Structure 1
Amino acid sequence: MDAHTWQTPSQWIMVGLLLLFAIAHSGLASLRPWAEKRIGARLYRIFFALVSLPLATGLIVYFLAHRYDGVQLWQLQGVPGLSAIVWGLSALSFLFLYPATFNLLEIAAIQKPEIHLYETGIIRITRHPQLWGQVIWCVAHTLWLGTSFTLLTSLGLIAHHCFGVWHGDRRWENRHGEAFRAIKARTSIIPFKAIWQGKQPLLWHEFLRPAYVGVAVFVALIWWLHPYFYGISTAIGAL
């Protein structure tokens, strides 16, 4: 089948991969209180990572290999300055995606993984920074690539993160009760809404954290590795 049509197998495979990841990721998050009581927080985190990371890696590799599949809806790559805009948005997306949960010792299960209630730093801007980081990333890459495959992938990723907003709030309220409801009342999902309403101040010194240096290094590394990603994805797509 022609790879540049509305009906490509790769698009439906991507839908299946997105559903599989969403079910595994959100399902395991739902089971966290039950699982931690039985196997402990560290072992649960290791199991969560062993399931989620391969699925996420598979998604990324498949996306790279098939990003130009489907219909070319628009072609803006020759527009002056667009490359800089896409890179700028991509860097911004990582600032939202990672620092909110950037405790490497807990992620690696060296320290006991905990669910932390806090309203500092980026949480003052939005209670769900990962949602908006994903939205920004999707907008940037869909704008650059302009294919129906990329658009479908982006819509699936955003839909999963929107579900994650409801799912996360529900889990936090079940676990923390009134303490979470108080934070929920003082924060917002929509970026800067709580600040505009006077519920939160914007304290720039809270962003002076090693986590943001790590994100900057990560973005620079991704920029440097991009040509290699393209080469690997082209080889995979040819299989």
Structure 2
Amino acid sequence: MSDLGWLIVAISAFVAGHELLSHPLRAPLVARLGERGFLIVYTLVAFATLGIAGQLWKAIPPDRLWQAPTWVHGIAVVAMAFAAILFVGSVTAPNPALMGMPAGGRPRGVQRITRHPMMWSFAIWGVVHIILSADSRTIVLASGIVTLALFGAAMQDGKKKAQNPAYGEHMAATGFIPFGAQFRGRAKWADGVPGLVATLGGLALWGVMIWAHPLVVGVPALPVLG
């Protein structure tokens, strides 16, 4: 099997392991190992599969299947700023969509944009890198991240609603896709703002990513004009 084939296997194992451990295998493993033991197993599986995928990604020579025009780079930069705002907003305020968090109260901050801000930040990152890199190895890796983020978010909704009927009210008041509640008339467009902390923190994170990208990845995040 080629290195790219092994990368597909590794990233598939990462996604499958996460979903199996997060849903059907979680309860029996917690009962047998305890919450702490389960978290150790979960962390080891996640780091092992993602680590192997990362090493395989590094070993595969880059290629380019298409060339994205400069204007697409501009949209991608803005999309990554939006993703950074969603991510910061997801970690600076309690989110009922996360396991262990109670449902109740009005959605706030980035939850008024999407009830899965962290997952959408990962998904946007993946789509941006697929489009801009046009690199077979990156397409495989990023596709796994996008699949895990969006499929995992949908699975989380079902699990949370089954465990707590009140979560259905949170689902009704929010949108799965960004601004979905606004498009469906469930929320006002004026409410679809991330808030000051998420905005400033997200823009700061975005600036750091722009600065660090050429140092870590070897290519600039901003399009080179001229």
Corresponding residue for residue 19 of structure 1: 12
Q: 1:67 touches 1:150 (CA, 8 Å); kept in 2?
A: no
Q: Take 1:214 and 1:60, find their aligned partners in 2: how far apart are those partners?
A: 28
- Change in 2 beyond 3 A, CA 1:58/1:123: farther
Picking from 70, 74, 77, the partner of 2:66 is 74
Q: Which SS does the other structure have where 1:189 is aligned?
A: coil
* Unaligned segments of structure 2, at least 5 residues: 219-226
Residue 226 (str. 1) matches residue 219 (str. 2): no
Q: Take 1:43 and 1:10, find their aligned partners in 2: how far apart are those partners?
A: 33
Cα shift at 1:21 = 0.9
Corresponding residue for residue 175 of structure 2: 188
Residue 117 (str. 1) matches residue 117 (str. 2): no
Identical columns (%): 24
Q: 1:67 touches 1:145 (CA, 8 Å); kept in 2?
A: no
Cα shift at 1:47 = 4.8
- Change in 2 beyond 3 A, CA 1:95/1:44: farther
Q: Take 2:54 and 2:89, find their aligned partners in 1: how far apart are those partners?
A: 21
Q: 2:53 touches 2:141 (CA, 8 Å); kept in 1?
A: no
Picking from 58, 61, 81, the partner of 1:91 is 81
Q: 1:11 touches 1:149 (CA, 8 Å); kept in 2?
A: yes
Q: Take 2:81 and 2:52, find their aligned partners in 1: how far apart are those partners?
A: 22
Cα shift at 1:205 = 6.8
Q: Please, what TM-score do these two structures have when normalized by structure 2?
A: 0.71
What amino acid does structure 1 have at the position aligned with 2:210? W
Deviations 1:42-83 (A, max 9, x none): 6644553344245445444544554724xx32123xx44554
Cα shift at 1:136 = 2.1
Corresponding residue for residue 48 of structure 1: 42
Corresponding residue for residue 224 of structure 2: none
Cα shift at 1:128 = 2.7
Q: Take 1:41 and 1:58, find their aligned partners in 2: how far apart are those partners?
A: 26
Q: Take 2:59 and 2:195, find their aligned partners in 1: how far apart are those partners?
A: 36
Cα shift at 1:179 = 0.4
Q: Please, what TM-score do these two structures have when normalized by structure 1?
A: 0.68
Cα shift at 1:24 = 2.1
What amino acid does structure 1 have at the position aligned with 2:65? L
Residue 153 (str. 1) matches residue 141 (str. 2): yes
Q: Which SS does the other structure have where 2:128 is aligned?
A: helix
Q: Take 2:58 and 2:88, find their aligned partners in 1: how far apart are those partners?
A: 21
Deviations 1:120-161 (A, max 9, x none): 222222223344323322232122212333333333333333
- Change in 2 beyond 3 A, CA 1:159/1:230: closer
* Unaligned segments of structure 1, at least 5 residues: 1-7, 105-112, 232-239
Give the paired residue count: 210
Worse overlay, 141-150 or 37-46: 37-46
What amino acid does structure 1 have at the position aligned with 2:84? F
Q: Take 1:189 and 1:162, find their aligned partners in 2: how far apart are those partners?
A: 9
Q: 1:96 touches 1:133 (CA, 8 Å); kept in 2?
A: yes
Q: 1:67 touches 1:147 (CA, 8 Å); kept in 2?
A: no
Residue 199 (str. 1) matches residue 186 (str. 2): yes
